[in-house]
Amino acid sequence: MNDDITPEAIRVTEFSTTMIDACTDLFLNVFTREPWNDHWESPQDAKRYLESHYAFNSFLGYVAVYEGRIVGASFGFIKPWQRGLEYYINEFFVDTAVQGKGVGTLLLKQIAADIKGKNMNAIILTTQKAFPAYGFYVKNGFTELAGEVFLGMSV
């Protein structure tokens, strides 16, 4: 892959279901490594997980394409909320080979421009503070929402 990636060389487009295999491969390549070390029983399980996103009628996904290859993706949904529509990012991932080269930032900027044109007023997501993604999101203008916490419960 070319080390001299420029914003002009990246094409951001909405996700289509024909892209699921490439997105699954990228998802596994990113999240089964440090610092996440996710473990999926099979690539098919990861694919089913990503497919479950676009089963929702409010799904909205994007991909960043470089030299004909998907190098970044966002899987989320449109969420009606008190002040209007928001884009909730559930999964955001960028090829480790191009992280730190502006691909993720460009993808977020293009998403923001597109959703603004679709009358959405915010991008919402969760991440872990201890992981590099937190710093990436803060660098790109995200702030912690006062009074919000992320909770879970095992059953």
Q: What superfamily does domain 7-139 belong to in CATH?
A: Gcn5-related N-acetyltransferase (GNAT) (3.40.630.30)
Cα–Cα distance, 96 to 94 (Å, whole number):
6
- pLDDT of 47-86, one tens digit each? 999 999 999 999 999 999 999 999 999 999 999 998 899 9
The string of pLDDT tens digits covering residues 86-115 is 999 999 999 999 999 999 999 999 999 999
Q: Is the pTM of this model over 0.85?
A: yes
Mean pLDDT of all residues in 5-30: 95
Give the residue extent of every domain in the chain: 7-139
> Cα separation of 87 and 5, whole Å?
27
Burial 109-133 (b: 16+ CB within 10 A, else e): ebbbebbeeeebebbeeebeeeeeb
